[in-house]
Amino acid sequence: MADDELARMRTEYARSGLADEDAGDDPIALAQTWLAEVVAAGVHEPNAMAVATATADAAPSVRIVLLKGLDVHGAVFFTNYESRKGRELAENPRAAAALLWHPLQRQVRIEGPVERLDPAESDAYFLARPEGARISAASSPQSQVVTGRDELERRWAEAEAAGAAERRPDGWGGYRILPEVIEFWHGRENRLHDRIRFTRSGDGWERDRLAP
């Protein structure tokens, strides 16, 4: 595809937007409401979330994970602690995340420090996963170079035979982004989009509006 074709691509937004009074004073409640509305609208994988991390010297990386929890404590996802994001979070325990729900013309951004979940929380989630997914988590050396697909399938079969689905691997578990900033974006006509930002202030939040 030629660069000029990409440059001409444009979608006009025309939904009602996000008024200050509708945003309220609680960004977690608003994010939960938006997520429920996205689920009700039948959006495919509504919990798909881009998570950006960085090394100690600020070299960034980003990937899509699945949001597995969202409450007053923060946004939760799971991964291998020795994956690239796990190693970067060990060096630099901060992250930025974004959930984009294009059919509803909405986006939520979350920024803040990151902590590991308590092992008991990771254990509970691991055992709730389908058996095949548990075996994959136990057998895959995530982000490491492998010789080929055959190696992955061999590792999986060996892990299955060893009963790996019965116990969470020590090197796999959850992280929680502790929100310091949460921003809500809503598409509007003529690219004059709504952007409402909440910034943590003590035990509460300060709300302001950003130019698009």
For the segment 41-53, what is each residue's pLDDT rounded down to a tens digit? 999 999 999 999 9
pLDDT band with cut points at 50, 70 and 90 for residue 2: confident
Give me the pLDDT at residue 7, please: 75
Cα(80)–Cα(28) distance, integer angstroms: 27
pLDDT average, residue stretch 31-42: 97
Residue 15 has pLDDT above 70, yes or no: no
**38 known ligand binder:** no
**125 known ligand binder:** yes
AA identity, residue 55: T
Cα(120)–Cα(85) distance, integer angstroms: 21
Active site residue 191: yes
**67 known ligand binder:** yes
Question: Catalytic pick from 116, 134, 188, 191?
Answer: 191
80: β partners? 172
pLDDT average, residue stretch 20-47: 96
pLDDT average, residue stretch 184-194: 93
- 81 or 15: which carries more pLDDT confidence? 81
pLDDT digits (tens, 9 = 90+) for 87-96: 999 999 999 9
pLDDT average, residue stretch 22-37: 97
Q: Mean pLDDT in the chain? A: 94
pLDDT band with cut points at 50, 70 and 90 for residue 1: low
pLDDT average, residue stretch 2-17: 72
* Radius of gyration of the chain, Cα coordinates, nearest whole angstrom: 20
**191 known ligand binder:** yes
Cα(117)–Cα(77) distance, integer angstroms: 9
Residue 209: in which H helix or E strand, if any? strand 204-209
